[in-house]
Amino acid sequence: MATSSDPAKPRSPLGLIFLTILIDMIGFGIVIPVLPVYAEGSRFGATPTQLSILVGIYSLLQLVFSPILGHLSDRIGRKPVLTVSILGTAIGFFVTGSANAYWMLLLGRIIDGISGGNIATGMACIADVTTKENRSKSMGLIGAAFGVGFMIGPALGGVLGKISPALPFFVAGGLALVNCALVAMNLPETLTPEAQERARHRASIGEVFSHGRSGLIFAILASQLASVTGFSIMTSLFALFCEKRFGYDIAHTGWILFYVGFLGVLMQGGVLRRLLKRPIEKQLAVIGAGVLAISMYFLPSTPPSLGMLLLVCAGISVGNSFVTPTLNGLASRSSDAHTQGRVLGLLASAGSLGRFVGPMIGFQLLRFDSNENYARTSFYASAAILVLALVCITMVSPGAATAPTPDAIPET
């Protein structure tokens, strides 16, 4: 645990940061199976458009506010920013949980989105307290926290949601409060004068796109935008799809998402690590996007058997595990140490934009299908967008960039 009985001895904040991100991801994951079902139910009766905004607004606000909070943490320190943003997350969950009208649900998601700088600030903390040599390994911790949180969260959300529809939000809010207290009491300030100095000398736009890298960076960003858009059509509609097509309740859906998360952890932690000993990121990303597109094409016509659904979900999980880390790796290899932070920031922005655009497309296309083939058009659109991602990835040629760096971790 992160608590220490010996206050005189400075502790490494890595354990606490790991816990922070884990709790944050569990909180985020708890909501996934519950939110659309909760909002669509008789209590709120949200229309598809209202649902798409409810799911997407968080990412749209994060697109703008995550960098602002990151910037603020370079100035006033990591601890205050992290504490306030986790507190905002808690308030957002409580507002969503106690909502009795659609606008209150939306308000909760807006508060959560505005204060959603937890992960970026946590990563900045890790960059502060690690050396270049061991940073990669420590960032791996973040990946592990992400994976495990995303595995436990939906299962917990499903089980709690069955007891009471609003309960998952209160539990997620409670978790965030505990997290906030832990950070406020135990996290040392990690911002160093060197990190502040580094933040002041960020690469200019000219430098980011120099050395003939612009085409390469745009190809990677387009790949990221398309693959995240395609994937988030699935994540935003999955719970409702399981309910309408298979008659599953949110607990069932939560367990299926647990299985998807578990496979993802296995793939990223075990298989991908071994495969990436050779520089075959592009090939793996192409295969991942292909597998993801095929799985999304078959998802709506899955026969009503759990075995078949799990098979298609395995494709989705494996495909996504191949695309996400490899695009990150390609982006960092395509930039030098000076511009890496900005390129990875752009990649994160493309991801946020995709997580907003995906639900917008997915929910709008619902009108073309009846309940028997619920979300078929949306999932076909997702498959088409993923094919587009595949085409974009094939246009990425890492060899075209000069001065690649073996260090895959951002500077700030």
Within 10 angstroms of residue 318's Cβ, the number of other Cβ atoms is 22
Would you tell me how many other CB atoms lie within 10 Å of the CB of residue 144? 16
Q: To the nearest whole angstrom, how small is the minimum distance from the Cβ of residue 244 to another protein?
A: 18
Whether the CB-CB separation of 150 and 131 falls below 8 Å is answered with no
Among 149, 345, 354, 410, binds another protein (CB under 8 A): 345
For residue 302, how far is the Cα from the chain centroid? 26
Closest CB to another protein among 60 and 312? Answer: 60
| Contact window for another protein (CB under 8 A) among 265-273, 291-299, 345-353, 368-376 | 345-353
CA distance 347 to 100: 37
Considering the complex, what minimum distance in angstroms separates the CB of residue 353 from another protein?
8
Interface with another protein (CB under 8 A), residue from 11, 162, 198, 202:
202
Q: Could you tell me which of 323, 332, 324, 321 has the C-alpha nearest to residue 268? A: 321
Distance CA 299, CA 292 (A): 10
| Minimum gap (Å) between residue 307 Cβ and another protein | 37
In angstroms, the CA 311 to CA 288 distance is 16
The sign of the torsion formed by the CA atoms of 264, 379, 397, 346 equals negative
Position 64 contacts another protein (CB under 8 A): yes
When asked if residue 403 is in the footprint of another protein (CB under 8 A), the reply is no
Q: In the chain, what are the helix, strand and coil shares in percent, each to the nearest 5? A: 80, 0, 20
- The residue behind tokens 């907003």 is 356
The residue (of 20 and 52) whose beta carbon lies closer to another protein is 52
Shortest distance in whole angstroms from residue 229 CB to another protein: 14
- Tell me: does residue 342 bind another protein (CB under 8 A): yes
Query: According to CB under 8 A, which one of 11, 71, 162, 211 is a site residue for another protein?
Result: 71
Q: Answer yes or no whether residue 196 interacts with another protein by CB under 8 A.
A: no
Alpha helix positions (H), 247-367: 250-266, 272-275, 281-298, 306-333, 340-364
Nearer to another protein (CB atom), residue 69 or residue 125: 69
Residue 206 found at the interface with another protein (CB under 8 A): no
* Binding residues with another protein: total (CB under 8 A): 21
Candidates 93-101, 270-278, 322-330, 340-348; binding stretch for another protein (CB under 8 A): 340-348
349 contributes a contact to another protein by CB under 8 A:
yes
CA distances to 72, 116, 118, 252, 303 from 68, in Å: 6, 10, 12, 38, 46
If binding is defined by CB under 8 A, does position 63 make contact with another protein?
yes
Residue 124 as a binder of another protein (CB under 8 A): the answer is no
Site string for another protein, 17-56 (x = CB under 8 A): ------------------------------x-x---x---
Between CA 66 and CA 61 the distance in angstroms is 8
401 near another protein (CB under 8 A): no
Residues near another protein, by CB under 8 A = 47, 49, 53, 60-61, 63-64, 67-68, 70-71, 202-205, 342, 345-346, 349, 356, 367
